[in-house]
Amino acid sequence: MNVHTQRHLVAGPAGALECGVDAPAGAPRGVAVLCHPHPLHGGTMDNKVVQTLARALLQVGWRTVRFNFRGIGASQGGWDGGRGEVDDALAVVAAHRDATMPLVLGGFSFGGYVASQAAARLDPPAQRLLLVAPATGNFDVAAVPEDTLVIHGEADDVVPLAATLDWARPQSLPVVVVPGVGHFFHGRLPLLKSIVVRALAA
């Protein structure tokens, strides 16, 4: 993400997992673990949306951890249909937090599905979930806490907004809709960052 990003490997269920960690200037509020888009469609921890989320969280004081799912970059293993990738996320969380440390768990697209499923298995739970264009049309995105921040582009051509609204409606879960924006937030990444900063600055 920047020259200060520390890259290292942590143990995962299918082998080593590659992580990139960025620390704020002062004492961190906690740790934020971010999950990237679909590994079979070019998703990596260096995806621009994931990097934007990391920058936003770093700005408001969180130590951010991005990582590559199994089989991507320097991470070992291979695609597991979404099941093992949830285990990967849990392994990264376990490696970077202790039981008393506040946690933000986030993800973009397929990573939003992974974050939702990982959050359902965490004890203690994450302090906050952050899902951007979660893959509600293709994967079983779990129900999430009522304070989850969900952001979706109105013109998303990969995950239709209607699919995310159908998922959110039974939960009475608000969704932040960004008008005219597609799946990858082209030209609107500063706006995405601003939304996240405003929501998580408190």
User: Domains, the chain, ranges and CATH?
Assistant: 6-200 (3.40.50.1820)
What per-residue confidence (pLDDT) applies to 100? 82
Q: What is the DSSP letter of 80?
A: -
List, for residues 90-134, the tens digit of each pLDDT value.
999 999 998 788 999 999 999 999 999 999 999 999 999 999 999
Query: Of all residues in the chain, what percent carry a pLDDT higher than 70?
Result: 99
User: What is the C-alpha to C-alpha distance for residues 53 and 143, in angstroms, rounded to an integer?
Assistant: 21
* 68-80 mean pLDDT: 98
Radius of gyration of the chain (CA): 15
Sole residue written with tokens 């990264």: 92
Strands, sheet with 149-153, edge to edge from the N-terminal-most edge strand? 6-12, 15-22, 63-67, 31-35, 103-108, 128-132, 149-153, 176-178
The partner residues of 149 in beta bridges, in order of sequence, read 130
What per-residue confidence (pLDDT) applies to 1? 53
What per-residue confidence (pLDDT) applies to 178? 98
Strands (DSSP E) found in 49-102: 63-67
**Mean pLDDT across the chain:** 96
Has residue 145 got a pLDDT over 90? yes
Has residue 78 got a pLDDT over 60? yes
What per-residue confidence (pLDDT) applies to 196? 98
What per-residue confidence (pLDDT) applies to 159? 98
How many residues in total does the chain contain?
Answer: 202
Query: Which sign, positive or negative, has the C-alpha torsion 182, 187, 192, 193?
Result: positive
Has residue 171 got a pLDDT over 60? yes
